[in-house]
Structure 1
Amino acid sequence: MAGEITETGELYSPYVGLVYMFNLIVGTGALTMPKAFASAGWLVSLVLLVFLGFMSFVTTTFVVEAMAAANAQLRWKRMENHQEDDDHSSTASDSDSLQDNYERAERRPILSVQRHGSPNLFEITDRVEMGQMASMFFSKVGVNLFYICIIVYLYGDLAIYAAAVPFSLMQVSCSTTGNDSCGVEADTRYNDTAPCWGRLRRVDVYRIYLAVFTLLLGPFTFFDVQKTKYLQILTSLMRWVAFTIMIVLALVRIGRGHGEGRPPLADLSGVRNLFGVCVYSFMCQHSLPSLLTPVSSKRHLTRLVLLDYVLILAFYSLLSFTAIFCFRGDSLLDMYTLNFARCDVVSVAAVRFFLGLFPVFTISTNFPIIAVTLRNNWKTLFHREGGTYPWVVDRVAFPTLTLVPPVLVAFCTHDLESLVGITGAYAGTGIQYVIPACLVYLCRKDAQLALGPRAANRHRSPFHHAFWVGFVLLWAFSCFLFVTANIVLSETKA
């Protein structure tokens, strides 16, 4: 089935789906995790990482169950429409008896239809995106809130991308000026007012790069772009080469006794950013329909997802622990790759430049895709049934509304840890916890009403008790209060 073409595209094996999901989750958030680990302490970080990984797995199974319920609803509606067509084609003399049969069928649970040879209604064959599931199970207010949450998250994504690329370029180019081509001293490396190119300060160079980045990639927001298969393969290959090099270099440095890190056991002041970074680093729920629907065999889908999460937890732990014991906590940069721009860490110049510029290549390829996705979500939020937008609104207003806010945020700050933390803590909490919990709760009610109380969803979450839905929502609300209180206290102390 690996090469079969269907409505959802080319099917692939479960293990290929496992790799795709791994690549989807492990992204930009992983590069900001080492500094967050160092700030919060290794024990607190490990406990929180494992717990948030578990919570993300729970809500992932919620989304899979909702996908199956949405497929069942669509399949049942097609069966109803087929029945209506048969009714219309029947003779008038048979209409009364047919109506009686139809009413009896309406009262009969769908499970009985399944037992008479029909395909499993809950089989995931149609790709039903999150927005479509929201329109199927949420009220109009709920649908609007869903899109607002997605839009806020995508804005955060774009702001992170818009800051990460110029920051990496500034860091690499400013560290290669002057007499020392291996980097500047630690006390000036974080000082935005330190000189970089003649009279230009580091912050000036950062903003120049930001302007160039916006001029080069911003216009893509006004057009339709698609991520090609080969670009995805190249980006994934570069990512794994970079991650492998960093882990190996850190292990070698620690093994030789040159490790500088002495991370604390716990430091609660860093938990806020760590929480947001971890939530952001496990984000995949919004892309699950596109990712899992083409999997050819979904018999052991939950087990494969669990295996993926175990592997991701192991990878995040390995990357972060080697980082915090290799580098001093106060010397770790927001973008972890930039810590390898020093000669005492990497002696080969080509490797230093590759790691330093790695975020530039990978993030730049994703920026236009995220921007177009955000633009289309704005259009969907304001869309009226049967209406069309004027050309100026469609081609100018929406793309401008998409591009300007994240660029302004990036112009004001390049604190990537805070940007990732805030995006993950607020919009990420909504997408990863609140939306899946509400979806699975409402789809279960809908399935019971439409299909009967005994309808069996073969992709039902292992956490099918109502307690888990309540627990996820309570956890999301507690996280929101904790992060908000922490920000208020931090501002008060400042």
Structure 2
Amino acid sequence: MFRRFWGLRRRLRMPLGETGDQYSVWVGLIYIFNLIVGTGALTLPAAFARAGWGLSTISLVFLAFMSFMNATYVIETMACANAVFKWKRLQSIQRESIQEQDSEDETASRNYGELEEPLVCGETIPSRYYSLDRRVELGEMANLFLNRTGRTMFYCTLCVYLYGDLSIYSAAVAKSVMDVICSTVPNTTSVNDWEQVPCFNVSSVEHGVYTRLDVYRVALLTFVAVMGPFVFFNVQKTKYLQLLTSLMRWLAFSIMISMAIYLLIGKGPQGHPPAFDFTGMPTLFGACVYSFMCHHSLPGLISPIRGKNHIGLHLALDYALISIFYLLLAFTGAFAFAQLSDLYTLNFVPTDNENILLEIVEYFLALFPVFTLSTSFPIIAITLRNNLQSLCLDTSRLESYNFLLRKLLFPVITVVPPLLLTYYLEDISVLIEFTGSYAGTGIQYLMPTFLVVSARRHCIGLLGLGVENKYKSPFANAAWAIFVLLWSFMCIVLVSVHIFEKKYVDFN
């Protein structure tokens, strides 16, 4: 009996995380870098040019800070969720010990009392309860800390955002491949004309001639067939894919920045953006919010990291590096080009160059969205799959469900809806606006704030004031949470004004 008791106590100290590969903190930061730096970054130069370099710089740094603040809220809430699970596990062990104890076994009874003590006084090692060992998705956090209304709002917002993200990624990759393969189409061609426009320069669509829509759909199916199977695994299985595409990402950004600097030195500034232009603020806000989005996938990326003691500092360094990249990209692009496309890579479209090396570089940059989104797609899909499981299944006994339900059903319902949507609906501009604005504000600002406030209250009531959370956000004062909520309201107003103005102009 005594040996069994201490075996249970050792089990309590074991990590609650899932078995599988772990990686260093630097690999984890590469994952986060890859997740954050996506197509949103390619919309920044045009947004900078519209809003002005001074206003844009201030806004980008501020929005990076706001995104980092809410990322620390997610980490703190994840640590609170781990503490709750450990507390529940401890209570279960205590009940088992009480049932199996013999009345004369006073030694085991005394040890049982010692086991209960840290929960009450909290003066022992705080990290025994607060940890980041177990991967707790945002959906599980919502189930633990929010009421029924809060959980409903959370899952609606999260599913809209993640399904929208997967749809946007799939369509953007397929369109990028189509634009590289097919001949250039005149600007007068509408998206709705894809079915009639041949992919190559021929006078009419004849039998056996592929249209742009055909090539788009083939590229879409190929992309989902290659990247879709990753949803059946965990994020650790994408390690080498992440490292490879991270190198491509750094290379692409370095080339774009270098080419813009070369143009600035050789031809001088071609663009002359103002310092401040508040009319471009809504566009800039939408681009920046989407450019710093990572909160929905943080739990899956952080839990396998070894050595999380200074995870907040490392995350801050990651945000600082990303901000520097964004500023360099935006400043050089805004001043190097007189006209900027909404997607920055379109300023480097392939042309018939005699220089083979330059042509290769242009094709590489044109396909850069493919490399970027191919890396992020598995992480987003795995995050959506895990949260759908949290919504529909009891994650504490996940292994008790049958194989088809656990391993096949949820990956399929994660990938198939975005595939069907983008297969039959090529123009998803409305979905992009809604996903990146309203759902993005909810996921990046509102949900982390509501979760952390509820988690703090819950853990204080469960563990007491004496147990310290070493992963507590440095922005723990209630004033910060109120500030985030007020800022979120302002963001929604700005985006609504921008969308209304855009629709009004299109209508007229």
Specify the TM-score bucket, using the shorter chain as the normaliser: 0.7 to 0.9
Matched, 1:292 2:296: no
Once residues 5 and 132 of structure 1 are traced to their aligned partners in structure 2, the CA distance between those partners, rounded to angstroms, is: 14
Contact 1:221 1:372 (C-alpha < 8 Å) held by counterparts = no
Q: How does 1:396-435 map to 2 (within 5 A)?
A: 400-409=416-425, 411-413=426-428, 420-435=432-447
Q: Aligned to 2:177, which of 169, 180, 188?
A: 169
The change in CA–CA distance for 1:38 and 1:457 in structure 2 (over 3 A counts) is: same
The change in CA–CA distance for 1:367 and 1:55 in structure 2 (over 3 A counts) is: closer
Once residues 402 and 27 of structure 2 are traced to their aligned partners in structure 1, the CA distance between those partners, rounded to angstroms, is: 40
Equivalenced residues, count: 468
Q: Which residue is equivalent to 1:123? A: 131
Q: How does 1:180-199 map to 2 (within 5 A)?
A: 188=186, 192=190, 197-199=201-203
What secondary structure sits across from 1:352 in the alignment? helix
Q: Which residue is equivalent to 1:147? A: 155
Instruction: Kindly provide the amino acid, as one letter, of the partner of residue 41 in structure 2.
Output: A
The change in CA–CA distance for 1:119 and 1:460 in structure 2 (over 3 A counts) is: closer
Q: Could you report, residue by residue, the CA deviation over 1:429-448 in whole angstroms, capped at 9, with x for unpaired residues?
A: 11111111011100100111
Identity level (%): 43
Could you tell me how far 1:235 is from its partner in structure 2? 1.5
Could you tell me how far 1:241 is from its partner in structure 2? 1.3
Matched, 1:21 2:29: no
Q: Aligned to 2:121, which of 109, 112, 115?
A: 112
Once residues 299 and 389 of structure 1 are traced to their aligned partners in structure 2, the CA distance between those partners, rounded to angstroms, is: 36
Q: Could you report, residue by residue, the CA deviation over 1:274-311 in whole angstroms, capped at 9, with x for unpaired residues?
A: 21221111111112222222332233222222222111
Once residues 73 and 126 of structure 2 are traced to their aligned partners in structure 1, the CA distance between those partners, rounded to angstroms, is: 25
Q: Aligned to 1:81, which of 92, 103, 120?
A: 92
What secondary structure sits across from 2:32 in the alignment? helix
Once residues 354 and 276 of structure 2 are traced to their aligned partners in structure 1, the CA distance between those partners, rounded to angstroms, is: 30
Could you tell me how far 1:63 is from its partner in structure 2? 1.0
Instruction: Kindly provide the amino acid, as one letter, of the partner of residue 156 in structure 1.
Output: G
TM normalised by structure 2 equals: 0.80
Contact 1:159 1:407 (C-alpha < 8 Å) held by counterparts = no
Contact 2:139 2:391 (C-alpha < 8 Å) held by counterparts = no
The change in CA–CA distance for 1:315 and 1:421 in structure 2 (over 3 A counts) is: farther
Q: Could you report, residue by residue, the CA deviation over 1:117-169 in whole angstroms, capped at 9, with x for unpaired residues?
A: 68531132222222221111112332232222111112221232233223323
Matched, 1:307 2:317: yes
The change in CA–CA distance for 1:191 and 1:253 in structure 2 (over 3 A counts) is: farther
Matched, 1:250 2:260: yes
Q: Which residue is equivalent to 1:454? A: 466
Instruction: Kindly provide the amino acid, as one letter, of the partner of residue 405 in structure 1.
Output: L
Once residues 373 and 15 of structure 1 are traced to their aligned partners in structure 2, the CA distance between those partners, rounded to angstroms, is: 21
Q: Which residue is equivalent to 1:480? A: 492
Once residues 125 and 420 of structure 1 are traced to their aligned partners in structure 2, the CA distance between those partners, rounded to angstroms, is: 34
Instruction: Kindly provide the amino acid, as one letter, of the partner of residue 51 in structure 1.
Output: F
The change in CA–CA distance for 1:224 and 1:397 in structure 2 (over 3 A counts) is: closer
The change in CA–CA distance for 1:443 and 1:345 in structure 2 (over 3 A counts) is: farther
What secondary structure sits across from 1:462 in the alignment? coil
Could you tell me how far 1:341 is from its partner in structure 2? 2.3
Contact 2:34 2:246 (C-alpha < 8 Å) held by counterparts = yes
Contact 1:162 1:407 (C-alpha < 8 Å) held by counterparts = no
Could you tell me how far 1:378 is from its partner in structure 2? 4.9
Once residues 424 and 301 of structure 1 are traced to their aligned partners in structure 2, the CA distance between those partners, rounded to angstroms, is: 27
Once residues 390 and 126 of structure 1 are traced to their aligned partners in structure 2, the CA distance between those partners, rounded to angstroms, is: 24
Could you tell me how far 1:58 is from its partner in structure 2? 0.8
The farther-off stretch of 306-315 and 478-487 is 478-487
Could you tell me how far 1:272 is from its partner in structure 2? 2.2
Q: Which residue is equivalent to 2:4? A: none
The farther-off stretch of 208-217 and 348-357 is 208-217
Q: Aligned to 2:218, which of 207, 212, 223?
A: 212
Contact 1:43 1:265 (C-alpha < 8 Å) held by counterparts = yes
Matched, 1:158 2:166: yes
Could you tell me how far 1:189 is from its partner in structure 2? 5.1
Instruction: Kindly provide the amino acid, as one letter, of the partner of residue 297 in structure 1.
Output: G
Once residues 383 and 126 of structure 2 are traced to their aligned partners in structure 1, the CA distance between those partners, rounded to angstroms, is: 37
TM normalised by structure 1 equals: 0.82
Q: Aligned to 2:246, which of 236, 242, 256?
A: 236
Could you tell me how far 1:361 is from its partner in structure 2? 3.9
Contact 2:437 2:492 (C-alpha < 8 Å) held by counterparts = yes
Q: Which residue is equivalent to 2:12? A: none
Could you tell me how far 1:270 is from its partner in structure 2? 2.9
Once residues 344 and 325 of structure 1 are traced to their aligned partners in structure 2, the CA distance between those partners, rounded to angstroms, is: 25
Could you tell me how far 1:199 is from its partner in structure 2? 4.1
Could you tell me how far 1:214 is from its partner in structure 2? 3.1
Contact 1:217 1:367 (C-alpha < 8 Å) held by counterparts = no
The change in CA–CA distance for 1:44 and 1:112 in structure 2 (over 3 A counts) is: same
Q: Which residue is equivalent to 2:481? A: 469
Show structure 2 runs of 5+ residues with no match: 1-14
Contact 1:44 1:265 (C-alpha < 8 Å) held by counterparts = yes
Contact 1:37 1:320 (C-alpha < 8 Å) held by counterparts = yes
Instruction: Kindly provide the amino acid, as one letter, of the partner of residue 315 in structure 1.
Output: F
Contact 1:76 1:121 (C-alpha < 8 Å) held by counterparts = yes
What secondary structure sits across from 2:267 in the alignment? coil
Contact 2:16 2:133 (C-alpha < 8 Å) held by counterparts = no
Q: Aligned to 2:101, which of 77, 90, 94?
A: 90
The change in CA–CA distance for 1:364 and 1:197 in structure 2 (over 3 A counts) is: farther
The change in CA–CA distance for 1:377 and 1:190 in structure 2 (over 3 A counts) is: farther
Q: Which residue is equivalent to 1:65? A: 76
What secondary structure sits across from 2:367 in the alignment? helix
The change in CA–CA distance for 1:453 and 1:33 in structure 2 (over 3 A counts) is: same
Show structure 1 runs of 5+ residues with no match: 178-183
The change in CA–CA distance for 1:245 and 1:207 in structure 2 (over 3 A counts) is: same
Contact 1:247 1:322 (C-alpha < 8 Å) held by counterparts = yes
Instruction: Kindly provide the amino acid, as one letter, of the partner of residue 487 in structure 1.
Output: I
Once residues 37 and 205 of structure 1 are traced to their aligned partners in structure 2, the CA distance between those partners, rounded to angstroms, is: 36
The farther-off stretch of 123-132 and 274-283 is 123-132
Aligned CA-pair RMSD: 3.7
Q: Which residue is equivalent to 1:36? A: 47
What secondary structure sits across from 2:44 in the alignment? helix
Instruction: Kindly provide the amino acid, as one letter, of the partner of residue 243 in structure 1.
Output: F
The change in CA–CA distance for 1:50 and 1:79 in structure 2 (over 3 A counts) is: same
What secondary structure sits across from 1:457 in the alignment? coil
The farther-off stretch of 259-268 and 378-387 is 378-387
Q: How does 1:351-370 map to 2 (within 5 A)?
A: 351-364=361-374, 366-367=376-377, 370=380
Instruction: Kindly provide the amino acid, as one letter, of the partner of residue 401 in structure 1.
Output: P
Q: Which residue is equivalent to 2:452? A: 440
